[in-house]
Each structure stands twice: as C-alpha cells, then as structure tokens.
Amino acid sequence: MHSVTKLSVVLPVRDGQGRIAGEVDRILEAIADIVSEAVEMIIVDDGSRDATPEILDELQSRYPQIRIARHHRPLGMEAAGQTGLERATGELVFIQENDQPLRIEDLMKLYRMGSDPTVVAARAESRHGGNKPLLRRLRAWGTRAAAALEEQSETSTQADAAAAGLQMVRRPHLQTLASRAAGQYRLEAASFLASDRDGWFASHLQGAGVPQGK
C-alpha cells in the first residue's frame, strides 16, 4: 500500500460565524481518530461580512495545523476551493465544494482510494451527479486531464446534482500533468455508483515512473 506523507483539507466558508468553529472541531477530531499522517486544514474565507474572520483567527491560535486564506470579496465556493488547492502542501488534498458540513464518510472513502498511487483525482457526493466541478478543478490547474476525462465520463451524467461533493486530488500527479512531460502519461477514468446512491469518480494516471497500485 502506498504511504501518504501528508494530507490537506480545504474548507471554503462565507459568513459562517455560527457554524465554522463547530465544523472545524468535528473534522479535526474525526481525522485524528482514523489517520496517522500529518494533516493541515486550509480554511478559505470567501469575502465574509460577519464575524467569520475573527473566529478563524481564534481557531488558528488554537490549532497549529490550520492555515487561513482570504478573498477580499466573494468570488464563489469553487474559486475558494482553488485558492486552497494552490496553497496546500499535502500529497492528497481534500476539497469541500461548498460550506455545508463535510461528510466524514466521504473523506474516509476517498482517503482509502488514495492508497492507490495511480489515482490523480476522485470525487464523492451523497447523490450521484456530474463530475464537472472536479473536471473544472483539473482544468484550472493547467493540466490536460480535463479534456480526456470529459470524453471518458460524458455518458455517466447529464447534469450536476444539487448536492455538493468532496474532491480529492494528488498534487504530485497534477504537477506532473502540468509539466512538459505530460505527453508521456495517459489518464483512465472510472465511475462508480454505490447502492446508497453515493456517486464516485476516480481518474488514474498511467505512465513511466508512476507507481502502480495493486
């Protein structure tokens, strides 16, 4: 099994003064119980106009693993997620697509997927919907992944569902895909639909120098 050295969790928030502290406590407590890797949490404040910035400063003083990023004006949850990804330092980066409660079950299932070293990106949501948010994330990174995955997954869905998802990306592989050597690699996509109506999507990187999962 591939050993991940560090995890990053990206949480976007806007005007979350009444919920963000409890959400951070809940997530960090759950992660500490089930993973042994170092964890950082990047909270991106998307232009909050309430007391969220002050609450985030207090959380950062309590938890050394928390990092804060701020947008001076609202840019949207997807932009907040991208800001968090750009600042993350973990090998596996988990990005919540909106500021609703993160499902720990989804994070753990994606974490287990990440034990396969060929996984570039994966996405989970409570209802099976589109993979467009993840594809946009890959496109924003500047990789060639998005076009390839759109072609392979376009028959799996017709539209994004209302439910938000949780994304996982492997930063070293994204950096490889954005490099000049990207043409030496190919991506293979797989979609899954669990019996409880959870939707799963994963993209695998194949090529020289990429460890292969069992």
pLDDT of residue 60: 97
Look at residue 214 and give its three-state secondary structure.
Answer: coil
Q: Which residues lie closer than 8 Å to 62 by C-beta, 6 or more apart?
A: none
- d(CA 183, CA 196) in angstroms, rounded, equals 38
pLDDT of residue 157: 44
- d(CA 51, CA 53) in angstroms, rounded, equals 6
For residue 99, CA distances in Å to 23, 62, 96, 150, 202 come to 10, 21, 7, 26, 23
The token pair at 63 is 């938890």
Domains of the chain: 1-99 (3.90.550.10), 103-214 (no CATH)
Q: Could you tell me the maximum CA-CA distance found in the chain, to the nearest angstrom? A: 50
Strands 6-13 and 92-96: parallel
pLDDT of residue 126: 63
- d(CA 53, CA 104) in angstroms, rounded, equals 25
- Of 35, 34, 30, 17, nearest to 43 (Cα)? 17
pLDDT of residue 195: 35
pLDDT < 50 stretches in the chain: 128-129, 151-162, 182-198, 205-210, 214
Q: Is 0.75 surpassed by the pTM of this model? A: no
pLDDT one-digit tens code per residue, 36-85: 889 999 999 999 999 999 999 999 999 999 999 999 999 999 999 999 99
pLDDT of residue 115: 86
pLDDT of residue 120: 82
